Amino acid sequence: MSIETERAARRNRMSVLARCETSRLQGLWSKLGLDPTYKLLRGPEYGLVMLRGRTGGTGEPFNIGEATVTRASVKLDDGSVGHAMALGRDDMKARLCAIVDALCQDTRTAVLIDAEMIAPIKSELDGADERRRQETAATRVDFFTMVRGED
């Protein structure tokens, strides 16, 4: 796998994990039966990131305000390192996401995790997005042209 595809896969995994509910994450994780020993390199800890917009949507960056985040970094016994950062305050989630990220440094484990954890969560999240899109679509205004004048 090239560095780019590996990076894209990792980004995608982190994106899915960050958006997942902790209880759902733990449910899928416990089914995997993986329980690696690890050492915490940093965190889990709460902090802030400053969110930014652009003037007029496309111009220069400006600060909108901050958001709470939790981050964690772990190292497994085999030396692989995992990182996680997610919006909100949730130690358990950040720690678990960092462990999952570390495990996925091993290609075979990554295949397992992608299939058993990431894929189902992704499809649930996509389903929720699609439902929201359709709900919004139902509020789209359909304009009718009125027929005027003599025929």
Q: Of the candidates 52, 74, 73, which has an alpha carbon nearest to the alpha carbon of residue 63?
A: 52
Nearer to another protein, 33 or 144 (CB): 144
| Stretch touching another protein by CB under 8 A, among 3-11, 23-31, 114-122 | 3-11
| Stretch touching another protein by CB under 8 A, among 6-14, 25-33, 106-114, 116-124 | 6-14
The tokens of 142 are what? 């359909």
Q: 18: helix, coil or strand? A: helix
Q: Quick check: 58 binds another protein (CB under 8 A)? A: yes
Note whether 44 and 29 are within 8 A (CB): no
Determine whether 150 is exposed, middle or buried from the number of CB atoms within 10 Å of its CB (0-12, 13-18, 19+).
Answer: exposed
Nearer to another protein, 31 or 52 (CB): 52
Residues at the site binding another protein, with contacts judged by CB under 8 A: 7, 10-11, 14-15, 18-19, 41-42, 45-69, 71, 73, 75, 79, 81, 83, 85-89, 129, 131-141, 143
